[in-house]
């Protein structure tokens, strides 16, 4: 308490959450704002949805900036971070959440598909993280970088080759960066969601056969909720995780540990 005012876990912090107009990113940016952070709602294409998120945050007395960038373009990724710093004067937390899928196997995925997926899911997060880290070092900020990865940074998903390559790359980027950034008191970790109830999973949720097959492989027998991922992101963004870096946190209902036995 501070003179009768409840201080949020991210009070006076500045957070940029990419891809925060819907799904997991929306839940994270709203959670951060609720905990006192000044936040950036980033979107790629759907400005209307991003505006709605901004209005919801501001209606709850949150501080919010709306920015657009195509993260498949490294220059736009860099500028997104720089615009955040120019507006707020600093950056304490970066969440690399924006991502996409284009299905294809090693036999048929095209160069264009492969390039698009890796550009958004790996190259974009890398240059956001690089620029954020540079700004944190310059300002001597004890920063937090969080990548929203996937269980598929670790387990294969036949038919989704480019996506798995990108998420696997994100895993090693995080692990290498944690050693390079530790001397500056900057932590970097991954959150690896399994099946979460978001728009990207609508096809599965609306098909009883696909849904039942999915649930049969999840020990907790349900899909996760975006708010549950947001709570984990809050921990990694807060001072409570100051001694945590270089790790992947699976939030998947036990999916990655499931086996039907021999």
What DSSP string runs through the chain?
A: -BTTBPPPTTTT-EEEETTTTSHHHHHHHHHHHHTT-EEEEEESS-HHHHHHHHHHHHHTT-EEEEEE--TTSHHHHHHHHHHHHHHHS---EEEE-------B-TTT--HHHHHHHHIIIIIHHHHHHHHHHHHHHHTT---EEEEE--GGGTS--TTBHHHHHHHHHHHHHHHHHHHHHGGGT-EEEEEEE-SBSSGGGHHHHT-HHHHHHHHHT-TT-S-B-HHHHHHHHHHHHSGGGTT--S-EEEESTTGGG-----
Pairwise CA distance, residues 192 & 153, whole Å: 8
Pairwise CA distance, residues 165 & 194, whole Å: 16
Annotated catalytic residue within 43, 88, 163, 258: 163
Judge whether 43 counts as a catalytic residue.
no
Residues known to be catalytic: 163
């Amino acid at each position: 308490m501070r003179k009768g005012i409840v201080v949020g876990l991210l009070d006076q912090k500045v957070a940029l959450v990419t891809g925060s107009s819907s799904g997991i990113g929306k839940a994270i940016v709203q959670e951060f704002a609720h905990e006192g952070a000044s936040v950036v709602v980033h979107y790629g294409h759907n400005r209307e949805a991003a505006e709605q998120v901004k209005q919801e945050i501001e209606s709850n007395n949150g501080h919010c900036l709306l920015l657009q960038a195509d993260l498949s373009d490294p220059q736009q990724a860099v500028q997104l971070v720089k615009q955040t710093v120019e507006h707020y004067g600093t950056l304490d937390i970066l969440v690399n959440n924006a991502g996409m899928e284009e299905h294809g196997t090693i036999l048929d995925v095209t160069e264009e598909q492969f390039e698009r997926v890796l550009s958004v899911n790996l190259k974009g997060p890398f240059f956001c993280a690089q620029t954020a880290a540079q700004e944190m070092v310059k300002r001597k900020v004890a920063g937090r970088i969080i990548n929203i990865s996937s269980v598929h940074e670790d387990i294969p998903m036949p038919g989704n080759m480019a996506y798995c390559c990108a998420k696997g790359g994100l895993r090693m980027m995080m692990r290498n960066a944690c050693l390079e950034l530790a001397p500056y008191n900057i932590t970097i970790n991954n959150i690896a969601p399994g099946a979460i109830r978001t728009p990207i999973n609508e096809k599965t949720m609306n098909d009883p056969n696909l849904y039942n097959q999915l649930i049969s492989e999840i020990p907790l027998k349900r899909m996760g909720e975006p708010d549950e991922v947001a709570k984990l992101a809050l921990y990694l963004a807060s001072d409570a995780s100051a001694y945590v870096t270089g790790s992947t946190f699976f939030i998947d209902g036990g999916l990655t540990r499931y086996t039907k036995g021999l």
